[in-house]
A and B are shown apart, each in its own frame.
Chain A
Amino acid sequence: MKKYLLAVLVDNKPGVLTHVSGLISRRAFNIESISAGYTEEPEVTRINIVVSVESKNELDQVVTQLGKLIDVIKIVNLSEVDSIERELVMIKVRADKSNRAELIDIVNIFRANIVDVSQENVVIELTGQQSKIDGIIEVLSEYEIIEIARTGSIALSRGPVPVKQM
Chain B
Amino acid sequence: MNGAQAVLESLKKEGVDVVFGYPGGAVLTLYDAVYKMKFPHILTRHEQGAIHAADGYARATGKVGVVFATSGPGATNLITGIATACTDSVPLVCITGQVANPYIGKDSFQEADIFGITTPITKHNYLVKDVKELPRVLKEAFFIANTGRKGPVVIDVAKDVFDAKIDYEYPETVNLRGYSGVYDGNDKEIAAAVEAVQKAERPLIFAGGGIVSSNTAAEVQKLAKKLGVPVTSTLLGLGTVPADTEGFLGFAGMHGSYAANMAIQKCDLLLCIGMRFSDRVTGRVDGFAPKAKIIHFELDRAEINKNVTADLKVLGDLRWTLPRFNKKLSATKEKFAEKFKGWKDEVIKMHEEHPFSYVENGDVIKPGALIKRISELSDKDTIAVTDVGQHQMWAAQFFDVYKPRHFLTSGGQGTMGYGLPAAMGAKVGAPDSKVVLFTGDGSIMMNCQEFATIADNDIDVKVVIVHNCILGMVGQWQRLFYNHHYSQSELKGKTDFVKLAEAMGLKGYRLTKKEELDTVLPKIMAEQGPALIDVLIPEEEDVLPMVPGGKRLDQMVLGGSKK
Q: Is B514 an interface residue when CB atoms closer than 8 A count as contact? A: no
B481 to chain A, nearest CB (A): 27
Name the residue on A nearest B126 (C-beta). Answer: A15
Q: Is A118 an interface residue when CB atoms closer than 8 A count as contact? A: no
B331 to chain A, nearest CB (A): 32
Q: Are A18 and B302 in contact (CB under 8 A)?
A: no
Name the residue on A nearest B140 (C-beta). Answer: A70
Name the residue on A nearest B302 (C-beta). Answer: A64
How many angstroms between the C-alpha atoms of A27 and B206 in the bound complex? 26
How many angstroms between the C-alpha atoms of A23 and B122 in the bound complex? 11
Q: Which residues in A have some Cβ–Cβ distance to B below 8 Å?
A: 10-11, 14-15, 18-19, 22-23, 26, 57, 60-61, 64-65, 67-74
> Which residue of B115, B120, B178, B309 is within 8 Å of A73 (Cβ)?
B178
Q: Are B177 and A11 in contact (CB under 8 A)?
A: yes
Q: A18-B115, A18-B119, A67-B301 are in contact. Are A74 and B178 (CB under 8 A)?
A: yes
A101 to chain B, nearest CB (A): 51
A-B contact pairs, 21 of them (CB 8 A): A11-B177, A11-B178, A14-B127, A15-B115, A15-B125, A15-B126, A18-B116, A19-B119, A19-B124, A26-B120, A57-B309, A60-B305, A61-B305, A64-B301, A68-B300, A69-B124, A70-B176, A70-B178, A70-B179, A73-B178, A74-B178
Q: Is B306 an interface residue when CB atoms closer than 8 A count as contact? A: yes
**A69 neighbours in B (Cβ, 8 Å):** 124, 178
How many angstroms between the C-alpha atoms of A73 and B119 in the bound complex? 18
Q: A10-B178, A67-B301 are in contact. Are A22 and B120 (CB under 8 A)?
A: yes
**B159 neighbours in A (Cβ, 8 Å):** none
Q: Which residues in B have some Cβ–Cβ distance to A below 8 Å?
A: 115-116, 119-120, 123-127, 144, 149, 176-179, 300-302, 304-306, 309
The 9 A-B residue pairs whose C-beta atoms are closest, nearest first, are A64-B302, A73-B178, A70-B124, A73-B177, A22-B119, A26-B120, A64-B301, A72-B178, A70-B179
Q: Are A15 and B302 in contact (CB under 8 A)?
A: no
**A65 neighbours in B (Cβ, 8 Å):** 302
Name the residue on B nearest A22 (C-beta). Answer: B119
How many angstroms between the C-alpha atoms of A67 and B300 in the bound complex? 10
**A68 neighbours in B (Cβ, 8 Å):** 149, 300-302
Name the residue on B nearest A68 (C-beta). Answer: B302
Name the residue on A nearest B179 (C-beta). Answer: A70
How many angstroms between the C-alpha atoms of A22 and B305 in the bound complex? 22
Name the residue on A nearest B123 (C-beta). Answer: A70
How many angstroms between the C-alpha atoms of A31 and B119 in the bound complex? 19
Q: Are A15 and B306 in contact (CB under 8 A)?
A: no
**A18 neighbours in B (Cβ, 8 Å):** 115-116, 119
**B304 neighbours in A (Cβ, 8 Å):** 64
Q: Are A61 and B119 in contact (CB under 8 A)?
A: no
B66 to chain A, nearest CB (A): 19
> Which residue of B120, B124, B300, B305 is within 8 Å of A57 (Cβ)?
B305
Query: Knowing that A68-B300, A70-B144, A73-B177 are A-B contacts, what are 14 other residue pairs whose CB atoms are under 8 Å apart, sorted by A's residue number?
Result: A11-B176, A15-B115, A15-B119, A15-B127, A18-B116, A19-B124, A22-B120, A60-B305, A64-B301, A64-B302, A65-B302, A68-B149, A68-B302, A71-B178
B314 to chain A, nearest CB (A): 16
A23 to chain B, nearest CB (A): 8
A25 to chain B, nearest CB (A): 8
How many angstroms between the C-alpha atoms of A87 and B178 in the bound complex? 28
B174 to chain A, nearest CB (A): 10
Name the residue on A nearest B303 (C-beta). Answer: A64
B311 to chain A, nearest CB (A): 14
B156 to chain A, nearest CB (A): 10
Most interface-central of B119, B178, B305 (chain A CB within 10 A): B178
A54 to chain B, nearest CB (A): 14
A36 to chain B, nearest CB (A): 16
How many angstroms between the C-alpha atoms of A74 and B126 in the bound complex? 21
**B178 neighbours in A (Cβ, 8 Å):** 10-11, 69-74
Name the residue on A nearest B120 (C-beta). Answer: A26
A46 to chain B, nearest CB (A): 13
How many angstroms between the C-alpha atoms of A18 and B115 in the bound complex? 9
How many angstroms between the C-alpha atoms of A15 and B156 in the bound complex? 12
How many angstroms between the C-alpha atoms of A9 and B306 in the bound complex? 24
**B302 neighbours in A (Cβ, 8 Å):** 61, 64-65, 67-68
How many angstroms between the C-alpha atoms of A73 and B123 in the bound complex? 15
**B144 neighbours in A (Cβ, 8 Å):** 70
